[in-house]
Structure formats: structure tokens, C-alpha cells
Amino acid sequence: MNVQKIALNGFRNYEWETTEFSPGTNVICGPNAQGKTNLLEAVYMLSCGRSFRTRFDKELVGFGFSEGEILAEVWSHERQQTVDLRFRVGQPKRITVNGVKKTAGELAAVVNTVLFCPDDLNLIKEGAAVRRRLMDNAISQIRPRYAEILTEFNRLYEHKTRILKDWREKPSLLETLDEFSDGMARASAQLIRYRAAYAARLNQTAPPIHREFSGKGEELSLRYQTVSTVRDPYASAKEIYYDICDHQERHRQAELESAQCLTGAHKDDLEIEINGRSARSFASQGQTRTAALSLKLAEREILQAESGEMPILLLDDVLSELDQKRQEFVLNRIGGGQTLITCCEDAEISRRTGGKVLLVEKGKIR
């Protein structure tokens, strides 16, 4: 799959701009603060309807505009498709594919992306939230149902957290607490099955990439961690649900005292080891970067195997953060699909990739 053409109208610092991409490598270059990441963000949004930089659609609308639009021609599933996203301040966004209204979750059936940005280089050392997001983004693209359950889970989580924070002032809130706990346990049970399956898949796909990448036969391994009472995350949703309820019962009092949700899939993690030791605690800077890249490249392979199409790879500013050897590895691996790479200096990278160069300056693309 690839984006052939994109029009950005009142999107970020693009007032009225159209550009075409090559189906292979595209090098997006230009000085700082000109709109390179904004362009990548627009392409990313075609796959999920939301930004990786903000939760608020109103930030996407260009200053001085009342509406923003991303309109793209995409080649996907052997045909040309038109994806249109419109944002209006104070209104829900409007998404259409080939003129038919769609939800954000349905976009994954048309466009898939794998994004890699400098923050991802810290994927291994950071808190569990980043690694959950890694799983969530990937699974949502291959399993639309997952995205729905996750949205529902987050809604329940926020609501229950509010109850736990406010029950002292308003004891009547406690009447609905158990209902929310139960809903969270049910949704968690489903999320856990999907995550366990994805983690297992990642554990097959990422280690060979990492072994080759590290050049020293380093062994990467991943282990999915979830609610401690869950005996088998591959079991049926019903069994997992009962195990979670067990945890919930034992932590009900602690939840009331701490005003925090203690039971559920919101505390999951993906434990990453290199040569049998926790990467988070022991790996060097270089090792964690290599592992993070291996995970992302593995994600691209898994999405391709699932949908039969190579997802669009978006590399924001990562090359400058990598040493020569890692740069070469990435550039050698990106063949076979469409890639958009942003960087500040053009000549070098475009020479090395042979890609199309798009020069971005003040919201204009040349």
C-alpha cells in the first residue's frame, strides 16, 4: 500500500498544499520548524484518525482556520481509494473513505502505518505505558475489534478512577463502583488475550532481526506481563475474567484507600530481555536503541503478514539519532514498501536511499 497524493488544507502550518509521493522511499527534508513532522503526522492520521502528538483535534487546525482537512489518494488492496479527514473546532471529526462515512477505527482496513520517532528510541527504558502503546497501536491496526474494546476499557477506567477519587465527598458514588470494576474485568480479559497473542508473535519476529542487527548474536526476548492472578493469558476470556475478579476482590479495599484502579489491563507491560537480563535495568544505550528498532521493524513484518500489504513506514528524525552502522541497517531494511523519512540534511540521505526528495519550507513542499 502507499499514499500517492496528499492535499493539506488548513492542517497545521499547511494552508493549501498538495504533494505526490513515490511508492518507494521519500526523503522529507528542510530546516527546523518548517512542517516535516506535520506532513508525517498527516499520513499517520490516515491510518487511525488521530495524531501521535496530540489528543486534541483542534490543535491540528491551522492558525486562523475554522476547519482543517487531510485529503489523500491511496493505493491499497489493489485499488485506488480516497481518504478524507476533516476537523472543525468544537465538532467531532468527519472521516470518509471513497465518499462513505467511516469511524477512525475503520481506517485501519485501508491504511496501515508503522511510525518510528526519537521518543521510540527510549521504548525500552521508559515506563510501561509506552510499551502498552506499542502493542495497542499494532493490534488496533490488525484487529478492529481490539480498538473498540480498548476505547470502552479506557472509558470505564476513567469513570472508575473518578469514583475512587470522589467517593469520600459523595458516598453515593460507591453504588456503581462494582459495576465499573466488573466492566473493566470483562474488557481486560479480552484485551489480555489479544496482547498475549501479539507479544508471542513479536517474540518470534523481533529476535531474528535483533540478532542480525546487533551483529553479535545478541538474544532478544519478550514476555508479556499482566494481572498477577491471570494463570494463562491464552485461556478463554471467561477463565481470564474469573482470574481478574479474584484479583479485584482482594484489592477492593486498597483501591478505595489509594484512590487508584489496581486491577486491570492498564498495568500490563512487555518485559524485554537481552541475553536473559532485563533490558530496562541492564542494557546499554546502544543495546536499547537496537532493540527498539528491532521491535518496530518486527511490527512492520507482522502487519504485512496479517494484511497482505506492506504498511507505510514513517521515520521521523531518527536517522540523525543513530550511528552509521544502525543507519545502514535501517536503510537496507526499508525496501519493499513505501517509506517517508524526515531529516534536516537532504543530500546525504537521499543519495544513500536513492529516494524522492521533498523539500519543506514554511508549510510549502517542493
Ligand X SMILES: Nc1ncnc2c1ncn2[C@@H]1O[C@H](COP(=O)(O)OP(=O)(O)OP(=O)(O)O)[C@@H](O)[C@H]1O
Site residues for Mg ion per CB under 5 A: 36-37
Residue 32 engages ligand X in binding (rule: CB under 6 A): yes
3-state helix, strand, coil in the chain (%, to 5): 50, 25, 25
Residue 223 CB, shortest distance to ligand X, in Å, is: 35
Residue 126 CB, shortest distance to Mg ion, in Å, is: 20
- How many residues in the shown chain lie near ligand X by CB under 6 A? 16
Question: In the set 16, 18, 20, 33, which binds ligand X (CB under 6 A)?
Answer: 33
Q: Residue 249 touches which of Mg ion, ligand X, none (CB < 5 to 8 A by kind)?
A: none
Q: Residue 25 touches which of ligand X, Mg ion, none (CB < 5 to 8 A by kind)?
A: none
Q: Is 212 helix (H, G, I), strand (E, B) or coil?
A: helix
Interface of this chain with ligand X, residues 61 to 90, rule: CB under 6 A:
61-63
> Sheet containing 269-274: which strands, arranged edge to edge?
220-225, 269-274, 277-278
Residue 62 CB, shortest distance to Mg ion, in Å, is: 17
285-307 vs 128-142: helix crossing angle, rounded to 10: 20
From 54-62, 120-128, 152-160, 326-334, give the range in contact with ligand X by CB under 6 A: 54-62
Q: Residue 226 touches which of ligand X, Mg ion, none (CB < 5 to 8 A by kind)?
A: none
What nine digits make up the cell of 108?
485501519
Question: In the set 1, 3, 19, 36, which binds ligand X (CB under 6 A)?
Answer: 36
From 58-66, 83-91, 121-129, 165-173, give the range in contact with ligand X by CB under 6 A: 58-66
Count of CB atoms situated within 10 Å of the CB of 169: 7
Interface of this chain with ligand X, residues 295 to 314, rule: CB under 6 A:
none
Q: Residue 59 touches which of ligand X, Mg ion, none (CB < 5 to 8 A by kind)?
A: ligand X
CA distance 311 to 318: 18
What nine digits make up the cell of 68?
482543517
Q: Is 258 helix (H, G, I), strand (E, B) or coil?
A: helix
Residues 6+ apart with CB under 8 A from 38: 8, 11, 12, 13, 14, 363
* Residue with smallest beta-carbon separation from Mg ion: 37
Nearer to Mg ion, 36 or 247 (CB): 36
What nine digits make up the cell of 132?
502498552
Residue 12 engages ligand X in binding (rule: CB under 6 A): yes
From 16-24, 60-68, 99-107, 347-355, give the range in contact with ligand X by CB under 6 A: 60-68
Residues 6+ apart with CB under 8 A from 337: 1, 2, 300, 304, 310, 311, 312, 313
Q: Residue 307 touches which of ligand X, Mg ion, none (CB < 5 to 8 A by kind)?
A: none
CA distance 275 to 273: 6
Question: In the set 4, 13, 22, 275, which binds ligand X (CB under 6 A)?
Answer: 13
Q: What is the DSSP string of 143-202?
A: -HHHHHHHHHHHHHHHHHHHHHHHTTT-GGGGGGHHHHHHHHHHHHHHHHHHHHHHHHHH
Residue 26 engages ligand X in binding (rule: CB under 6 A): no
Residue 345 engages ligand X in binding (rule: CB under 6 A): no
Q: Residue 305 touches which of ligand X, Mg ion, none (CB < 5 to 8 A by kind)?
A: none
Count of CB atoms situated within 10 Å of the CB of 88: 16
Q: What is the DSSP string of 104-131?
A: GGGGGGT--EEEE-GGGGGTTTS-HHHH
Nearer to Mg ion, 36 or 289 (CB): 36
Nearer to ligand X, 60 or 334 (CB): 60
Interface positions with ligand X (CB under 6 A): 12-13, 30, 32-38, 59, 61-63, 317, 344
